[in-house]
Structure 1
Amino acid sequence: MKPEDFHLFEPLRFFLGDVPWSFLLETLLRGLFLYGLLLLSMRLMGKRMGAQLSRNEMAALVSLAAAIGVPIQAPDRGLVPPLIIAAIIVLGQRFIAARTLKSKKFEEITQDDIAIMVEDGCLNLDKMEEVVLPQERLFAKLRSESISQLGQVKRLYMEANGDFTLLLQEPARPGLTLIPDWDEEYIQEQQRSPDTFACLRCGQLEHGPQEPAHACPRCQHHRWTTAVTAG
């Protein structure tokens, strides 16, 4: 559009753009075609595409959406390019799925791997740093599962797709409280474990008549708190 052809707040251009009214009907037909193409592509990539997506699957879906979005809106774009892009994405995704069944190493490279975030009531700080998982977010996840202290957790796995899998410790052991420190009233209601202290950073337990003066042997943190046994 030339500058002299531009008129501020021109209703037809404002709502319809620089295309004729007849393009609205073609947009409907293009949308139906590309919507069907998207559904078909997702079906060919497997049932996982209808569930919670992994990073690879999310990238494939975003790529499909990007390829499909432009031809719906642009009258000068044909439908063959998105067909080709969809075919490449589907074939690539099926190749990745087939290879991950045969090679554990390939699966780790393309899908990532499972990681242990909590092990026998202690935080795995190295893995948390690796996956960029703050302590408070992890504690919030455990609180959402009605866990009030780390001693109740035998394992907390972060799956390759970012989901969490929780295995409880039976019976529960004393551990670091998961209650935010500003909720002092609730913390006072928790039962304390005599002569047991938990590292405030990783949850490592130390036994003794008084708070340890040394650093935590697991994470070298110097702050301790009395371990709790129940909410």
Structure 2
Amino acid sequence: MHPFDWQRLLLDEVPLGFLGEVAMRTLLAYIVVFLFLKLAGRRGVRQLSLFELVVILTLGSAAGDMTFYEDVPLLPVLTVFVAMGILYRATTALMATSPRLQDWIEGSPFTLIRDGVFELDTLNQGNISQDEFLMELRLRGVEHLGQVRLAIVEINGDVSLYYYAAEQTRKGLSVLPVAHRPVYQQVPRPGDYACNHCGRVQHMASVQQIACPACKAQQWSTALMTLRQA
């Protein structure tokens, strides 16, 4: 083998004319995947559930093999798409008649914030990273949990937020990164502090070090009371 053999690097033993066939295969794969998404009735990736994402990844693998492997015939790959489409339709029909099956396959929405604090059961199950969710809140213009009445994580990973009215805003845990909100184990002065784990707000009358009554965590941040900007 010779280094920097451009024939080997670019085409190997494949003739130059095969590039036209690759273009045709790619166009066919593009059309088939596009038609499948249209038949599935989805407008974007954010609307895909975990079940549908697995289907798309499986089809993407088959389509990728079809585009540039000369020893992969087209009809077997197209059969994969047809069979997967039939299985997809059958599975969605079964899910429509069986809520338990739908929950098992796609999961169900879960509540992450209620009344300005994290739901401990959800946090303990590890369904979502707290840091990842705090980033999601920052992107939505939320400054602290006291501005949020209810937060629901949907089955496609999107987050539905329901806010308190300005006059109902309560004190809450800052959603800013730790670099922008000092974290204390022993609070430096009396005041209201929010548990860094669950968001529960606790008034501390003196300089002290206590565990959160709700989750037993021992790290605190100064509770905020700023109003959400419309």
**Class of the TM-score when normalised by the shorter of the 2 chains:** 0.7 to 0.9
Question: Cα offset for 1:202?
Answer: 1.0
SS in 1 for 2:218: coil
Aligned twin of 1:174? 171
> Do the aligned partners of 1:174 and 1:229 also contact (CA within 8 Å) in 2?
yes
In the other structure, the counterpart of 1:3 is: none
1:22-33 pair list within 5 angstroms:
22-33=17-28
Give the equivalent residue in structure 2 for 1:72.
67
Alignment match, 2:186 = none
The CA deviation string for residues 80-106 of structure 1, in whole angstroms up to 9 with x for no partner, is 111111012111222222222222211
Paired with 1:11 and 1:148, the residues of 2 have a C-alpha distance of: 56
Maintained 8 Å contact 1:211/1:224: no
Correspondence 1:21 to 2:16 = yes
Is the CA contact (8 Å cut-off) linking 2:42 and 2:48 kept in structure 1?
no
2:103 is matched with which residue? 108
Aligned partner letter, 2:213:
P
Regions of 4+ moved over 6 Å: none
Inter-CA distance 169–15: structure 2 relative to 1 (3 Å threshold) = same
Contact 1:49 1:57 (8 Å CA) reproduced: no
Q: Distance in 2 between matches of 1:181 and 1:65?
A: 40
Structure-2 separation of matches of 1:75 and 1:226? 63
Q: Is contact 2:46–2:158 with CA below 8 Å preserved after alignment?
A: no
Residue in structure 2 matched with residue 230 of structure 1 by the alignment: 226
Cα contact 1:212–1:224 (8 A) shared by 2: no
The CA deviation at 1:158 is 0.8
**Which among 199, 224, 230 is matched to residue 203 of structure 1?**
199
Relative to the length of structure 2, the TM-score reads: 0.82
The question of whether the paired residues in 2 share the 8 Å contact of 1:206 and 1:212 is answered with: no
Alignment of 1:92 onto 2:99: no
Q: Does 1:217 align with 2:202?
A: no
Corresponding residue of 2:123: 128
Deviates more, 1:11-20 or 1:159-168: 11-20
The residue type paired with residue 71 of structure 1 is M
Q: Mark the structure with the bigger radius of gyration.
A: 1
Aligned-partner Cα distance in 2 for 1:31–1:56: 25
Partner SS state of residue 142, structure 1: helix
Deviation per CA, 1:26-47, whole angstroms, max 9, x where unpaired? 2232222222222222222222
- One-letter code aligned to 1:227: A
- Unaligned residue ranges in structure 1 (runs of 5+): 1-5, 188-193
For residue 213 of structure 1, report the CA deviation from its aligned partner. 5.9
CA distance in 2, matches of 1:208, 1:23: 74
Q: Percent identity?
A: 29
Describe the SS at the equivalent of 1:136.
helix
Instruction: Give yes or no for contact 1:197–1:226 (8 Å, CA) kept in 2.
Output: yes
Conserved 8 A contact 2:95-2:102:
yes
Q: Deviations over 1:129-185 (max 9, x none)?
A: 434533322222222222222111111111111111111123111122223343369
Give the RMSD, CA atoms, in angstroms.
2.7
Cα 1:195–1:8 change in 2 (3 A) is closer
Asked if the contact 2:152/2:160 (under 8 Å) is kept, the reply is: yes
- Cα distance in 1, alignment partners of residues 45 and 174 from structure 2: 38
Hey, what does 1:61 align to over in structure 2? 56
Report if the CA contact (8 A) 1:150-1:175 is conserved. yes
8 Å CA contact 2:194, 2:221 repeated in 1: yes
Cα displacement (A) at 1:214 = 4.8
Counterparts in 2 of 1:7 and 1:166: CA distance versus 1, 3 Å: same
